[in-house]
Structure 1
Amino acid sequence: MAITSVGEDAHRVDALLDLGKAERLADGVARLSGAQAESMMWACTSGSFVFGPDGARRQVDQVAVAAGVPASSTSIAFADALHYLGIRNIAVAASYPADVAAHFVTFLSASGAVVVAMGSHGIVTAAEVGLLAPDEVVEMVRAADHPDAEAVLVPDTAMHTLSIIERLESAVGKPVLTANAVTVWKGLQLIGPVPRLPGLGTLFRTAR
């Protein structure tokens, strides 16, 4: 894993466009040159979806060329996971301010998803998101849910969710796709069939 450089830790569109610029990603790939990776993920949701579908695809294409292995990103992984599960109607539980969260909605809509509800929580920095307690994340997901949603999506890789996905799904009675979970899933899918992994929710129980 390589942590890419950050100009300003801010959930603000201009700061996120800077976060995901090609030079930062190229530096991250270079620092992983000896890792012998079989796939590579740009593990960031907001630093990819703010570029839009075409821009996000250009990001991962550049990473793939530089790394010499298949690559993707968290935002693209969300869209791919929805297609994989056959889910169209979704709710979004976003930590971001509303204007940033709206970019995620636009990104998902371009992939064919229908966002029936969206909760944004106005958290400005990734550092603050990382301090959210499990109970707070559960309440965020529960508050964002909607009866018409087939799943709830939780963007932001700074949010600690891998250990509580089963709890999140139990809270709303439906699949919950989180940034870190879809990132792991897509990284594995790029190199072959994804194994069933207990404790990581519906996405990792649905093998085919």
Structure 2
Amino acid sequence: MTPTQQGNRTVTIGFLYPDHAAEDDYPYAEKLLGDTAKLAVEHVYGTDLHAVAELLDLGSPSRLAEGARRLLTHDPAALVWACTSGSFVYGWDGAREQIDALSTAANGLPASSTSFAFVHAAETLGLRRVAVAASYPRDVATLFADFLAHGGVDVVDMSTADIATAAEVGRLRPDDVVELIVSRDRPDTDALLVPDTAMRTLALIDPLEQRLGKPVLTANQVTVWEGLRLVGVPPPVPGLGTLFRRKGT
């Protein structure tokens, strides 16, 4: 089943996005998808600080349940918690419980999160050794590396920009984002992973991949792909990198 085969209507996928930073990546992706899917975004509000205690609160069951209720008004076929740090900070088992609770709050609809999206995307592309270009402080970024390791992905190099808040990440200029990513590549890795949904990246993925000669997986990219995966087979979409050029994944 492909995402367009949901009766006679274009399928809607719901995304819970934390606060405001780079959510305009979602209408950008929707435009590239054409009539394949509608991407509905609702917001979860809390602190945008990249710190463990605050991230645990941001991804709490009550906040996600409230967001799920708002997303249900869009009649989605699946939901994704569009936050990497607010999911991996719970650890593998806790992040699984988080999306199970999100599914329950959404009347049993399939659900996932950006952290699991990275693991599923890496598995689809056969990635085993990756570098991570994280915007977070090191203690938070280390939890992402641990999460990936649990999913069978070996982080051989992890760099951190030590940016304190999502709002600061969202204000980065495109040239700053490119520099942050390119400067953190490792030639001996299969791909470069960029884990912050607060970072505006979708328009930059193809140029980055051409420059680096390898797949680049970014948070908003894999989140959109994960939503499509939940409802069928993600279609090939020009302009969103190697992950979206795969057929039948």
TM-score by length of 2: 0.82
Q: Secondary structure at the match of 1:118?
A: strand
Query: Of 126, 131, 134, which aligns to 1:94?
Result: 134
Contact 1:48 1:75 (8 Å CA) reproduced: yes
- 2:61: which partner in 1? 22
The CA deviation string for residues 28-77 of structure 1, in whole angstroms up to 9 with x for no partner, is 00112221100100000000000001111111111112213100000000
Identity %: 56
Amino acid in structure 2 at the alignment position of 1:126:
A
1:167 Cα deviation from its structure 2 partner:
1.4
Amino acid in structure 2 at the alignment position of 1:102:
T
- 1:170: which partner in 2? 210
**Separation in 1 of the partners of 2:61 and 2:109?**
17
Query: Of 128, 146, 149, which aligns to 2:168?
Result: 128
Unaligned stretches of 5+ residues in structure 2: 1-40
Query: Of 183, 193, 218, which aligns to 1:143?
Result: 183
What is the number of residues matched between the two proteins?
207
Query: Of 141, 144, 161, which aligns to 1:104?
Result: 144
TM-score by length of 1: 0.97
Contact 1:119 1:143 (8 Å CA) reproduced: no
Richer in strand (by share) = 2
The 4+ residue runs of structure 1 with deviation greater than 3 A are none
RMSD: 0.8
**Separation in 1 of the partners of 2:164 and 2:201?**
19
Unaligned stretches of 5+ residues in structure 1: none
**Separation in 2 of the partners of 1:82 and 1:101?**
18
1:154 Cα deviation from its structure 2 partner:
0.3
Contact 1:42 1:72 (8 Å CA) reproduced: yes
- 1:45: which partner in 2? 84
Q: Does 1:64 align with 2:88?
A: no
**Separation in 2 of the partners of 1:127 and 1:150?**
30
